[in-house]
Chain A
Amino acid sequence: MTGTLLQDIRYSLRQLSKSPGFTLTAVMTLALGIGANAAIFTLVQGILLRSLPVKDPGQLYRVGDQDDCCVNGGYMNENGDFDLFSYDLYLHLRSSAPEFEQLAGMQSGQNSYSVRRGNAISKSLRAEYVTGNYFETLGIGPFMGRMLTENDDAAAATPVVVLSYEAWQSEFSGDGTMIGSTVTINGQALTVAGITPRGFFGDRISDRPPALWMPIQTEPLIAGPGTILHHQDSNWLYLLGRAKPGTNILALQSKLSIALRQWLATRPMYTDNGGSAELPKQHVVIVPGGGGIQNLQQETGTGLRMLMGLSAVVLLIACANIANLLLARGTARRSEISIRMALGAGRGRLIRQIITESILLSCIGGVASLAVAYAGSHMILSLAFPDARSMPIDGSPSLPVLGFAFLVSLVTGVLFGIAPAWLTSHAQPAEALRGSGGSGRSARDRSSLPQKVLVVVQVVLSLALLVSASLMSKSLANLEHMDFGIASSNRYVVHVDPAGAGYTMEKLPSLYHELESRFAAMPGVSGVGMALYSPLEGNNWGECVIPQGYPAPGPNSHCNSTWDRVNAHYLATIGVPMVRGREFTEQDTPTSLPVAMVNETFVKRFFPQGDPVGKHFGIDLPQYSSSFEIVGVFKDFKINNPREATRPVFMRPLTQYLTAYKEPPIIGGEVQSMFVNSLILRFNGPQQDVESLIRRTLAEVNPNLTVQDLRSLDAQVAGNFNQDRLIARLTTLFGILALVVASVGLYGVTSYFVARRTSEIGIRMALGATRNQVLQLIARGVVVQLGLGLLFGVPAAMLTGHFIVSQLYGVSAYDPVSLFSAAAVLAFCALVAGMIPARRAASIEPMQALRTE
């Protein structure tokens, strides 16, 4: 058996080397088809299928299954699904669930902080607050020093920090004296306790994993008055636990849900104003946590699965194409097969020989595909995560990817080898040995029927891919060219961290004044905006709004409004017009009347009757409902998710701090909101060397005021569509690939058809057929195959549209323009591909054709 297999392989290799043109075409087609799949699978494996690099990931469970972020108050999801927890609630759940060996809490929304060692310039590093048992829960020991322990949860513990191996290498040059040294984080001194093992990236896959892990007890120290650690109603932690072996997870889920409801029942926030009615449905869902917190997986899962499906279609087209090539070769080899059969070879033996050849071919293609996969996955990663820093996804093919490519190669080989093997092995030896197996002047050429069917299949699949590409491109164009309501050109957004540079509340007014005047004096600058956060950067602050005179809202009252804190003339800087009233001016001072501007949606939601200007509202509690007077209404613009309908938005001036609040959580929010994070510079026209100018200006204000991020507002807006852009580009790439492969397939089949019909064409011409009539004869075949392909392709494309509808924006899954244009492009390319051999047929010299008889 092994001997005959080796013989088959040897013979197959000889056959392939005898036809280098065929082998090269097939290997290239396979490399592209398998490579596209392997590239997508690299991402699927790296994002969706991957476990955290921790001890026994199968034992980890997450309490919560949504991707809510970052600080939330009140009830969370309509169905009562809780996934964010306050620190006190975490402690309560932890004590209620001894089934967990460990239950750790970790910050849901990580932040960047200014980190400085000694007198070095500050670095902006991402950090995450975690409970002391975090590393023990994950089963992670130190690379150097020690990890955090439960002792670090004590309020009096010495503040320490754990550094990631990657950050230690890249930010501190792998300095061996790092352990025990002091780093300053937002002006507070912390001791470096240890360094995590190489490759550890935390509790979730993200494009910017944390460089530091800080004990949760250091949060009050670093956040200062804005601390939320002990706000019992501020939910900001994810929970991840290691269950004891044999734990019944469903029973544990019920138990924790009861514990959750018990705790919520003690909090007025959840019981007042009719909130008690919502209590019974509050619950937690416990899900496997070996893959960590699945935020990225939930964001990208649908897109990745869609790409996986589309790349499989590309591979199917490639398979159909190679099956076609093999069928043509099989016909040419019919006499060889007949001789083998005449000499006693059984059909099974012949089929095995041909399948061996196709599997060998696909394996060579599989090896070549690794290069395509390597380049493809790197390209996809850079497109999907352009801002990635130390992202824990490697574009290089890993063992699972190699295994996947090998498996796909095997399946592909069998898939495209079966039909040719079956047909070739059913040759009639007597007929074939007699000569050409007939007179060779068949007008219908039944032997090419399977090939024509395969071409039709290719046209069907290609149309589906092209329509998908067209839909995704239209969707992307709709997203990118929607009216965001802001002017983004010639504007730059600079992210800074005044708290990290050591500024306190008292020093902020002078800092803002200096920033404003220095940047305003920069050449070409025509406006300086300052805001807690800028439009479409992915940030969102929300509060419950209570118009003056209204009672406290109930739990389902939809009182939430986005809000931002901005400087005078901010809206003019970002190009948002006022609809009524005025914008903030320099006259809005700390001592003047507290004012606010609101958007049109805010007015519709909270002040639908009469003129909103001059009316009052407040946040969270009825006693504050007269806090702010509305002085202006601005036009709606996209401030957070561009796909969503505009939310109610109000803005408050940077100069006004409300001292009336008594509740620590509200005071904390008020304090934090005073620290702007975004500067927006409007230039008169396109500028050169903006970055160095901005960095220099900031350094002149304070060298510790580092640039956390700098990009044009255009780029910031475009960044919202990275995933859409990736999917649109890849789908287009797949569509083009399918188009090329299908066109080559049609060309090949038509060429083969013409070659087989050379003598027939010669006879027809000798009997008076004109060249046009021969052209029509061949073209008719092309048109029939194309027509059938389009006929079946339209429903296939509509079905594909149905599957990708969740990825579309502003375009119907059955968009007739996309359908028509894709069909037109496909028809054009197919006709060109078919016409080349048809023209060749028409130029056949009848005399020569007859001589070949």
Chain B
Amino acid sequence: MIELTNVERSYRTGPTETWVLRQVNLTIRPGEFVTVTGPSGAGKSSLLNVLAMLDDQWKGDFLFEGEAVQGMTRKQRADLARRRIGMVFQSYHLLDDLTVAENIDLPLSYKDIPRKERQALVADTLDRFNIVGKKDLYPSQLSGGQQQLVGIARAVIHRPSLLLADEPTGNLHSEQAKEIMDLFCKLNQEGATIVQVTHSKENAQFGSRILELRDGWVYSDTSAKRTAGVQS
């Protein structure tokens, strides 16, 4: 599904160039549940941004479902992301003035989907995530776990083939975190490919594959059954 070859990303601050991703080679197959771990500054979120196509300043080759992302225009990448990718954020990123239902509807509102169809999809999703009773509440009226549930519902409503989650349980206590991770497992079993970034070793175990980054390099990958030494 995803094939990264020699992907590199750096930031230039004055004369200094800071590398956040170094020669990343990675293949993710459909249906995998990949956990990206590593210490702060290892490049986890940068990798996620590349995969989410929010970043286009990287170098290297990126094939998404057989399409070469590096050759696409910004607009083409945005179109592709809109159709195929869903995002879940650590701090939920729900819009305060929209109700639960309106927040979930948000990604659909950016597609050419008739209103009735959208309403049906929102109703299905609310039902699927057991939050029908909360559809008219505002984010501030929900607990952190409930907010993240809405965030995930919003991310998957358009049935993306890839679900990206950046520290999805970072703001939740352990019980809530477990519920969310169970939900991810369920979604994965239903066919979604998931890439999550987490600090938590406990939550990392929910994935079928663990990728560890250090200083921008792929330090370990349980799928590849290999461990690379830290390169300087």
Contacts and interface: CB of A to CB of B under 8 A. Distances in A.
A766 B96 contact: no
A846 interface: yes
Interface string B89-121: 101011111100000001100110000000000
Interface stretch (A120-128, A437-445, A628-636): A437-445
Given A444-B97, A767-B87, A768-B81, A847 B110 contact: no
Interface string A765-801: 1111111010000000000000000000000000000
A832 interface: no
Given A767-B154, A850-B54, 4 more contacts: A760-B95, A763-B93, A768-B158, A850-B93
Contacts of B49: 847
A522 to B, nearest CB: 75
Contact of A767 (B96, B107, B139): B107
Nearest to B147: A439
B107 A768 contact: yes
A352 interface: no
A441 B106 CA distance: 14
Interface in A739-774: 759-760, 763-771, 773
B59 interface: no
Contacts of B52: 766
B93 A442 contact: no
Contacts of B106: 764, 767
Interface string B22-62: 00000000000000000000000000010010110000000
Nearest to B87: A766
21 contacts: A438-B96, A438-B140, A439-B96, A439-B139, A441-B93, A441-B94, A441-B96, A442-B96, A443-B96, A767-B87, A768-B81, A768-B82, A768-B111, A770-B78, A770-B82, A770-B110, A773-B110, A845-B54, A847-B55, A850-B93, A853-B91
Contacts of A763: 89, 93, 95
Interface string A811-850: 0000000000000000000000000000000000111001
Given A764-B106, A847-B54, A443 B95 contact: yes
A773 B106 CA distance: 12
A314 B24 CA distance: 62
Contacts of A846: 54
A769 B75 CA distance: 11
Contact of B93 (A444, A771, A853): A853
A850 B89 contact: yes
Contacts of A438: 96, 140
B78 to A, nearest CB: 6
A763 B139 CA distance: 15
A766 B94 CA distance: 12
A768 B93 CA distance: 14
Interface centre among A442, A766, A767, A850 (most CB of B within 10 A): A767
Interface residues of A, number: 23
Nearest to B45: A851
Interface in A510-561: none
A759 B87 CA distance: 15
A765 B87 CA distance: 11
Interface of A: 438-439, 441-444, 759-760, 763-771, 773, 845-847, 850, 853
Nearest to A768: B82
Contacts of B78: 765, 768, 770-771
The 4 nearest A-B residue pairs measured at CB: A768-B82, A768-B110, A847-B54, A443-B97
B54 A767 contact: no
A769 B95 contact: no
Contacts of A760: 95
Among B87, B93, B98, the most chain A Cβ lie within 10 Å of the Cβ of B93
A634 to B, nearest CB: 75
Interface in B103-153: 106-107, 110-111, 139-140
A767 B151 CA distance: 11
Contacts of A770: 75, 78, 82, 110
Contacts of B89: 763, 766, 850
Nearest to B94: A441
Contacts of A759: 93
A771 B75 CA distance: 9
B95 A441 contact: yes
Contacts of A442: 95-97
A759 B110 CA distance: 17
A767 B110 contact: yes
A446 to B, nearest CB: 8
A703 B97 CA distance: 89
Contacts of B139: 439
B146 to A, nearest CB: 15
Contacts of B95: 441-443, 760, 763
A338 B165 CA distance: 36
A759 B89 CA distance: 13
A441 to B, nearest CB: 5
A847 B96 CA distance: 20
A441 B95 CA distance: 5
A766 B87 CA distance: 7
Contacts of A444: 97
Contacts of B91: 439, 853
A331 B91 CA distance: 24
A760 B103 CA distance: 12
A391 to B, nearest CB: 62
A444 B95 CA distance: 10
A771 B82 CA distance: 12
Contacts of A766: 52, 54, 87, 89, 93
Nearest to A760: B95
Contacts of B93: 441, 759, 763, 766, 850, 853
Contacts of A441: 93-96
A444 B111 CA distance: 22
Contacts of B140: 438-439
Contacts of A443: 95-98
A247 to B, nearest CB: 74
A669 B154 CA distance: 98
A350 B169 CA distance: 42
Nearest to A445: B97
A344 to B, nearest CB: 29
A768 B78 CA distance: 7
A479 B82 CA distance: 62
A769 B106 CA distance: 9
B87 to A, nearest CB: 5
Contacts of A768: 78, 81-82, 107, 110-111, 158
A845 B154 CA distance: 21
Contacts of B158: 768
A846 B56 CA distance: 11
Contacts of A847: 49, 54-55
Contacts of A771: 78
Contacts of A764: 106, 110
Contacts of B87: 766-767
A444 B98 CA distance: 9
Nearest to B110: A768
A556 B66 CA distance: 102
A768 B108 CA distance: 9
A251 B169 CA distance: 96
Nearest to A762: B93
Nearest to B46: A847
A845 B78 CA distance: 12
Nearest to B55: A847
A536 B129 CA distance: 87
A773 B54 CA distance: 17
Nearest to A438: B96
A768 B95 CA distance: 14
B227 to A, nearest CB: 30
Contacts of A765: 54, 78
A769 B96 contact: no
A439 B140 CA distance: 9
A795 to B, nearest CB: 32
Contacts of A850: 54, 89, 93
Identify which of A444, A845, A850 gathers the most chain B CB atoms within 10 Å of its CB: A850
